Chain A
Amino acid sequence: MKTIAKKTKKDVQPRPKFSVMAVILLIGLIVYTICLLSPLLYGLVTSLKTNEDYTLNPTGFPNPLSFSNYATAFEGFYVTIYNAVGMRNIYLERMMLNSLLYALGCSFMSVAVPCLAAYVVANYKYKICNVIYVFVIISIILPIVGSLPSELQLARALGLYDNFFGLWIMSGHIRSMYFLILHATFKAFPKDYAEAAKIDGGGPFTVFFRIILPLTKTVFFTIMLIKFIEFWNDYQTALIYMPSNPTLSYGLYLFRFNTNTEYATMPMTLTGCMIVFLPILVIFLCFRNRIIGNLTIGGLKG
């Protein structure tokens, strides 16, 4: 029986035979992988070299293998910030905390806000619901160039400039593909659960927060994960809107142009890169299937 089952499974999804086209594509993909991985491996190998080793042996493997850059990073990987209060050095621990605050807060807001709106738009038949849906699609398609100065001016006027709270508020918007994904999720959700809760006397808030949201937490969590990675890696938003609170990525940007300290060396800069990269790599490897699966679904909806 087992053999039959195995055979059937194999029959359903047989690995196709290589054709000329597949071989050409395989070669292309191998070249792509080499081009992609070589710089990252170079970064990892160089981060495991002392500066002396790097100077004497720039192209070889570390000799000896040294993790000292990672230990030194906590005192050497810092950036100097100048603002109205004066000058101060921001060290790695603070940048990590800033990255966490920025990425967690913004990723939560960028899922929670579309989630609230998408649920109503998917389940209620008010005119505003159609207006919101059409607006989201138009705002995604219609490009608006150069609104950054105006946004900055408004952020300053509303007291949202140069603080985490401001970025959390600004990142919680519905103008994204994820609104459409959440909308599709709520639209496809069976109505029976909500009806049963209503019969038991549950109001719309109870239905949404106690029943629907827990049942769709996988979608919520996956989008938040993708947005977390995006915000963790982003440095341009923090650079423009939060210059006094550098995140790890923003700190790395400042550090690469810093030539004043004894720590501004190639191995140290690449150690900084690995410190930014490795936590995300771990998260990705843990949730790989969920992230890739969701992106694929996103493709279908797109």
Chain B
Amino acid sequence: MTSANETGLLKKQARAAKWKSYVFPTVMLAYPVVQVLIFYFGVNINSLLLAFKLYDDAGGYTWAGFENFRTVFYELFHDPTFSAGIRNSLITLAVSVFITTPLSTLFSYYVYKRYRGAEFFKVMLVLPMITSTLVMVLTFTGFVDRFLPQFMEKHFGVNMVNLVSNTNTQLYVLLFYAVLVGFGSSSLLYLGAMNGISPEMIEAGKMDGVTPFREFIHLVVPSIYGTFGTLIIVAVAGVFTNQLNLYSFFGTGAQPQNSTIGYYLYTQTQAASVAGYPRLAAMGIIFTLIVAPVTLLVRYIINKFDPMGE
């Protein structure tokens, strides 16, 4: 009898101890999990539902089937802002992948090899990251649109157009600016990856008489392929959220032909009332459905061609 009681007591204690062991992880995870449930799943499920609703002042939100999707598809094929937005978003991605990425990698290589001034240039590469976008944009606009034309006219007698204000040159200036401020974060990430390269491998290359260029192409690039791939994936994933700094340059007044999808969605949301949300939600879903599989495909391709994979 006593033995049975003791066994029961032990079982009870074991159960209590088991429940007690759940207290700490439960308390620690409670807030993060609730936050995810509300602000990730809640937001996205709400976005999905919103896309199938319409709003009117009298009845609030009502089901509307695919009405918003029909509207968005119509706009996609008939509104020139969209075609310009998609084109500019893709150009921005291409510039990021084919210009910013190679230059960042090369600049990181310079710092990694500790050539003269490497420490100074490392700080310079970080500068755009710590500087407010607005501060960069305002000083850049003032410099390009006010200082340069006046300086050129005063000292060289040259009449220079205001490159930022001029609609013909605007997009090129924006892309140049994106490259200029885009080096920062990626250069440091590449540098981090390069610092992880085995010194023995570099040393062996040197003993074989490898030139810096060959060292870069055949030893460094394959070694940082993982970081390179991650940054490409992030760039592809962000293709329809990238605003190309248009909002910082022009507020809501950017030229439609220079707009990107990211800028369009942000300005539309900012200006929209509750009645405008369903159409924007439908638009978001359509662009997500386009970019999500593309991102996964790019990820698959990058992983497939990983030189260090096997």
Q: Which residues of A contact B (CB under 8 A)?
A: 13, 15-16, 18-19, 21-22, 25-26, 28-29, 32-33, 35-40, 42-43, 46, 58-59, 113-114, 116-117, 119-120, 124, 126, 128, 132, 135, 139, 141-154, 158, 169-170, 172-175, 203-205, 208, 229, 232-233, 235-236, 239-240, 249, 252-253, 256-257, 266, 269-270, 273-274, 276-277, 280-281, 284, 288, 291-292, 295-300, 302
Contact = CB atoms under 8 A, between A and B. Distances in A.
A273 B142 CA distance: 12
A291 B114 contact: no
A120 B130 contact: no
29 contacts: A16-B113, A18-B115, A21-B211, A21-B212, A22-B212, A26-B110, A29-B110, A29-B124, A35-B180, A36-B124, A37-B124, A120-B25, A126-B25, A132-B32, A141-B233, A142-B295, A148-B280, A149-B277, A150-B43, A150-B47, A153-B274, A170-B39, A235-B134, A249-B132, A256-B138, A292-B122, A292-B126, A292-B188, A299-B188
A33 B117 CA distance: 12
A291 B126 contact: yes
B40 interface: yes
Name the prevailing secondary structure of the A interface residues.
helix
Nearest to A300: B192
Contacts of B295: 141-143
Most chain A Cβ neighbours within 10 Å, of B115, B121, B124, B213: B115
Interface of B: 24-25, 27-29, 31-33, 35-36, 38-40, 42-44, 46-47, 50, 103, 106-107, 109-110, 113-117, 121-124, 126-136, 138-140, 142-144, 146-147, 150-151, 154, 180, 183, 185, 188-193, 195-196, 211-213, 216, 226-227, 230-231, 233, 237-238, 240-241, 247-248, 251, 261, 265-266, 269-270, 272, 274, 276-277, 280-281, 283-285, 287-288, 291-292, 295-296, 299
Given A28-B106, A120-B28, A233-B131, A59 B192 contact: no
B227 A145 contact: no
Contacts of B277: 149-150, 152-153
Given A36-B180, A42-B143, 20 more contacts: A15-B115, A25-B107, A28-B106, A39-B139, A46-B142, A145-B261, A146-B284, A149-B50, A149-B284, A150-B43, A150-B277, A158-B38, A173-B36, A229-B130, A240-B270, A252-B132, A257-B251, A280-B130, A280-B132, A302-B226
